[in-house]
Amino acid sequence: MTQPLLKWPGGKRQLLPHLRRFYPSSFNRYIEPFVGSGAVFFDLHASGRLRDHDVVLIDSNADLIGCYETVRDAPHAIADALERLAAAHAIDGDSHYLAVRNERFNPMRDRLRRADGGITYTPELAAMFIYLNRTGFNGLFRLNRRGEFNVPPGRYLRPRIADRERLARVAEALASTGVRLIWGGFERACEIAEHDDFVYFDPPYAPLTPTASFTSYTAACFDRDDQARLQKTVVGLARRGCYVLVSNSTADEIAELYEGCDVVRAAGLRTLRVAARRAINSNASRRGPVEEYLITNVTADSTYAQASQTS
Ligand SMILES: C[S@@+](CC[C@H](N)C(=O)[O-])C[C@H]1O[C@@H](n2cnc3c(N)ncnc32)[C@H](O)[C@@H]1O
């Protein structure tokens, strides 16, 4: 079993039992335009369903993609660096976290930033990214106005920082023949996807309330216009004959875009509500069960638990 390497806001491990029902029984390429911690990619990989398939993993977070590329290419160097970070963290977690974040990670990110805005990750930088992710507050990745990572330390008693085996399994999955990583926007999927490809979209969720802030994954948010552009992309790919699966919140703006939309139905897409648990919310009282949308043109596999269809 390959588990994701990173904690990631909106990570889909908890939703996997619902999502698995909508993995097509056969497909050509697998494309995931908001890959984050890659819960669905690693699940598909672990089940053997990606064997002999080309895979395209896309995310607009340059650090995430830079880290994955380096994990793929240099897992042992990263594991060595993580062990050193874990040993120092065990002595004084909070002050070590802040020193790594302010004195090493941010300055090194700056030095390795390219003209195109991407960051040329090294094993040392990737190890710090993973360390800050596993020990920082709720696995958030947040940048301030100056583009510096500014997440405070998390509250973990014994965080699992260095896990050589998991790192090796993740590296092996990312190094599989045919797996491609792309730093870019979700629209890249339109340039790539063809008939019979399986495309899973897990965008930053539209907030259920004006104060909920699930959309702050990077400095730039994912707003209403982005959600509307995404809906057009999803409809376009369904029309093209791709297998499409989308997860999103049941916010009113998403209901309008999918549940109440004739164009979506005409493209053969159905909108279902499933019960989920929100793992990451700064407000503990909002961590209870919520409903989420799955939007898909894949026929459900009846061997998995039921979801309730709304349109
Ligand atoms: C809900 S998370 C995905 C979580 C993922 N399914 C998992 O299991 O961890 C959304 C991801 O979309 C990325 N993102 C935000 N805006 C984007 C855009 N316009 N195009 C592509 N990726 C984007 C974020 O960096 C984040 O990793």
Contacts of 261 (CB under 8 A, 6+ apart): 231
pLDDT at 156: 87
Residues 294/249, Cβ–Cβ less than 8 Å: no
Cα 307 to ligand 1 centre (Å): 24
Domain boundary residue, one of 165, 197, 226: 165
Q: Which atom of ligand 1 is nearest to the CA of 37?
A: 9
Instruction: Flag whether the pTM goes above 0.75.
Output: yes
pLDDT at 139: 92
Q: Is residue 251 part of a domain?
A: yes
Q: Which atom of ligand 1 is nearest to the CA of 59?
A: 22
pLDDT at 209: 73
The answer to whether residues 84 and 128 belong to one domain is yes
The answer to whether residues 303 and 192 belong to one domain is yes
The answer to whether residues 136 and 233 belong to one domain is no
Ligand 1 pocket test: pick from 217, 233, 247, 249 the residue with the most ligand atoms within 8 Å of its Cβ.
217
The answer to whether residues 238 and 265 belong to one domain is yes
- Is any atom of ligand 1 closer than 6 Å to the C-beta of 204? yes
pLDDT at 207: 84
The answer to whether residues 161 and 195 belong to one domain is no
pLDDT at 304: 59
Helix ranges (H only) for the chain are 16-19, 39-46, 62-73, 75-91, 93-99, 106-111, 123-135, 164-174, 188-192, 224-239, 252-254, 262-266
Reduce the DSSP state of residue 294 to 3 states and report it: strand
The answer to whether residues 50 and 79 belong to one domain is no
The answer to whether residues 188 and 155 belong to one domain is no
Determine if residue 268 is left, alpha or beta; phi over 0 gives left, psi from -120 to 50 gives alpha, anything else beta. left
CATH number at residue 147: 1.10.1020.10
The answer to whether residues 213 and 140 belong to one domain is no
The answer to whether residues 56 and 78 belong to one domain is no
CATH number at residue 231: 3.40.50.150
- Is any atom of ligand 1 closer than 6 Å to the C-beta of 139? no
Q: Is residue 261 part of a domain?
A: yes
Instruction: Quote the number of domains for the chain.
Output: 2
The answer to whether residues 195 and 143 belong to one domain is no
Rounded distance between C-alpha atoms, residue 154 and residue 142, angstroms: 14
pLDDT at 302: 64
The answer to whether residues 300 and 203 belong to one domain is yes
- Is any atom of ligand 1 closer than 6 Å to the C-beta of 63? no
**What range defines the domain where residue 122 resides?**
73-165
pLDDT at 219: 37
Rounded distance between C-alpha atoms, residue 309 and residue 271, angstroms: 6
pLDDT at 283: 58
pLDDT at 200: 98
Domain boundary residue, one of 133, 165, 197: 165
What does DSSP say about strands 30-32 and 55-59: parallel, antiparallel, or unpaired? parallel
Residues in the chain with pLDDT < 50?
Answer: 214-219
